[in-house]
Structure 1
Amino acid sequence: MGAGAPPAPPSGQQSFGVPGASQIGYEYGPCTGKRKALLIGINYFGQRGQLRGCINDVKNMSTFLHQRFQYKREDMVILTDDQQSPRSQPTKQNIIQAMHWLVKDAQPTDSLFFHYSGHGGQTKDHDGDEGDGYDETIYPVDFRFNGHIVDDEMHRIMVAPLKPGVRLTAIFDSCHSGSALDLPYLYSTRGVEKEPNLAKEAATGLFDALQAYSRGDLSGVASSALGIFKRATSGRGAEERAKRTKTSPADVIQWSGSKDSQTSADATEAGEATGAMSYAFIRALSKNPQQSYQQLLTSIREELAGKYAQKPQLSCSHPLGNDGHPLDESDMEFKF
């Protein structure tokens, strides 16, 4: 490590307590073993909502991984909708099969990398682990016929099977992607774990109640008041459920292009069509490959500041600050 670089993550088993569960153990990935990458870029040629930069994102990311972080071309699976081979098309079946390939036989110290650039969305949550009541989704090229892929399924395939000490880094350059892997620990640029925004939810419900009252709609007032209570209690309950059921003994980090409630830009940078998040991630790490988690989140946001409204997010399968204090620039170096 060069001068001034953050320290490496601690070795060995780490543990912490979760309300309603016993002590949970996990291990940071030292990233010294085998490397594998799955890169997916979908422009949706000829479909409504066609994008321009997603395939470029995958090409840029594969070059970046190969040149800067020693990922071998033969250890990458690339699915894009400009390829002729049916097996290389980003269909729902191919994507799910490739996700299984990515994590198959992963051992402690291995580094896995997942990158998705394409459309994202939301659908109603049915298992109670989403504070806003919606699961996040990604859209394969054949989604109009075969449907989307939900965050619960992506977590089940790519996160749940991983052993302690395996690192999975996931990049989602898509709309509504803040919790696209269902990782229960979300961090701010101040290095503080984010809590559900219950005050905002309550304010929304209060506004609805006042609107109903002004119309003389007393049943609407009661309904909105009940909604305030349900949003507040379900938001907290969903967060606790997610921590009990979605925490992993592995070392899983997700960088996403936007909050769950936001869209992500299909942009143009340096004369090339690109996803704003993919561009910012590569540019930030190219400028300084040795950054802490907090530094990198700040650097990515700075690359987009003033040009895009979206707010990239950092989420993890375990707490990052094991000492109970916020992260800062002296905390662990991010690597993959």
Structure 2
Amino acid sequence: MSQFALCVGINRFENMPMASWLNGCVNDAADVSALLGMAFGFADSSITVLTDQAATKDAVLGAMTEALDRANTPGEHLDHIVFTMSSHGTQMPDTSGDEADQVDEAFATYDLRQIGPAWDAGSLILDDELHDLFTRLPKGVLLDVILDTCHSGSGLRAMDLVPTVDDRRPRFVPPPTPLGRNGAEAEGADTRTLRDLVRSSRAAAKPVLFAACRADQTAADANFDGRYNGAFTYYLLDALGSGSASTRGEVIKQVNAKLRARKFAQRAQLEASAPGKSTAWGTAF
């Protein structure tokens, strides 16, 4: 089996103050990479880890584009792609007219920067951009995606940046000004997330998506015995590494049980077909 993994973790951001930096994202990327090698047979040469200043938008999308180019090249025999990203999530004004609440969900890269009242679209990854990449997935190639960010929905406010329990920090950074949300404050806004894009995709094959939280929640960056991780990634890797969950569906149940037990408000999400949910993580269906 030919495999490729891209593990992205960003604690520090070029144009953001230290107060908005994170602590556990680089550890997330390193820990996922280690588990792929130990438990799932990934060779070191098949894993690319991009952290902090190496994790620019161009670098992240470039690496994923190359992987999907390989997957679509006859004779390459790329069977399994893994993409993981731990960072801040945020929102951008929707320019394509496909969002009911007029905002796109977005994932912050190292070079995140501001233009006027909104983030610069050239410095973060939009949900639409990931979706467009995923639609290139050919039949017969498995794509496992793990996102430990706040790919947020309605109801998030700037106050969410303030840690409220111990030293936990939400992985959400608000748009620079209310204008940057361009309507996201509307009550009852029906925000579409990357999960919805994956679900509605007409691609030949669909990725399996593990997401850290619901659209209306924040994902926590937290201290576990003196070392930081994303709460979702920490419990996900525990479930995958222990081998106690036989299916992806069982994995998500175990993760959410541990999140509840530790009083984390977020609830991890799984987007996959019925066969995908009933087979083990990392296996085709």
Q: TM-score category by the smaller chain?
A: 0.7 to 0.9
Please list the CA deviations of residues 282-330 of structure 1 after superposition, one character each: whole Å capped at 9, or x if unmatched. Answer: 00112226522321110111121133101111113xx3269xxxx7xxx
Deviation at 1:134, TM superposition (A): 3.3
**Aligned-residue identity in percent:** 30
Deviation at 1:271, TM superposition (A): 2.0
1:152 is aligned to 2:128:
yes
Please list the CA deviations of residues 146-179 of structure 1 after superposition, one character each: whole Å capped at 9, or x if unmatched. Answer: 432101111112x11111111000000001268x
Structure 1 residues 43, 249: CA separation in 2 closer, same or farther (over 3 Å shift)?
Answer: same
Q: Which residue matches 1:210? A: none
Single out whichever of 242-251 and 42-51 deviates more from structure 2.
242-251
Amino acid of the structure 2 residue aligned with 1:302? A
1:320 is aligned to 2:274:
yes
Q: Secondary structure at the match of 2:109?
A: coil
Structure 1 residues 71, 243: CA separation in 2 closer, same or farther (over 3 Å shift)?
Answer: closer
Amino acid of the structure 2 residue aligned with 1:167? L
Length, aligned pairs only: 235
Structure 1 residues 109, 149: CA separation in 2 closer, same or farther (over 3 Å shift)?
Answer: closer
Conservation of the 8 A alpha-carbon contact between 2:23 and 2:221: yes
Q: Which residue matches 1:35? A: 3
Q: Determine the C-alpha separation between the residues in 2 that align with 1:65 and 1:177.
A: 28
Q: Determine the C-alpha separation between the residues in 1 that align with 2:270 and 2:130.
A: 17
Q: Which residue matches 2:174? A: none
TM-score normalised according to structure 1 size: 0.62
Of structures 1 and 2, the one with the larger relative CO (CA 8 A, separation 6+) is 1
Please list the CA deviations of residues 88-127 of structure 1 after superposition, one character each: whole Å capped at 9, or x if unmatched. Answer: x111111111111222221677010001011011223344
Deviation at 1:277, TM superposition (A): 1.2
Amino acid of the structure 2 residue aligned with 1:94? A
Conservation of the 8 A alpha-carbon contact between 2:89 and 2:149: yes
Q: Which residue matches 1:105? A: 70
Q: Determine the C-alpha separation between the residues in 2 that align with 1:235 and 1:50.
A: 26
Amino acid of the structure 2 residue aligned with 1:98? A
* Runs of 5+ unmatched residues, structure 1: 1-32, 83-88, 179-226
Q: Which residue matches 2:149? A: 174
Which one of 43, 50, 55 corresponds to residue 90 of structure 1? 55
1:51 is aligned to 2:22:
yes
Which one of 238, 252, 259 corresponds to residue 297 of structure 1? 252
Q: Which residue matches 2:177? A: none
1:332 is aligned to 2:279:
yes
Q: Which residue matches 2:108? A: 139
Amino acid of the structure 2 residue aligned with 1:250? A
Single out whichever of 35-44 and 261-270 deviates more from structure 2.
261-270
Q: Secondary structure at the match of 1:105?
A: helix
Deviation at 1:259, TM superposition (A): 1.1
Q: Which residue matches 1:247? A: 202
Q: Which residue matches 1:65? A: 36
**Highest Rg: 1 or 2?**
1
Q: Which residue matches 2:180? A: none
TM-score normalised according to structure 2 size: 0.72
Amino acid of the structure 2 residue aligned with 1:42? I
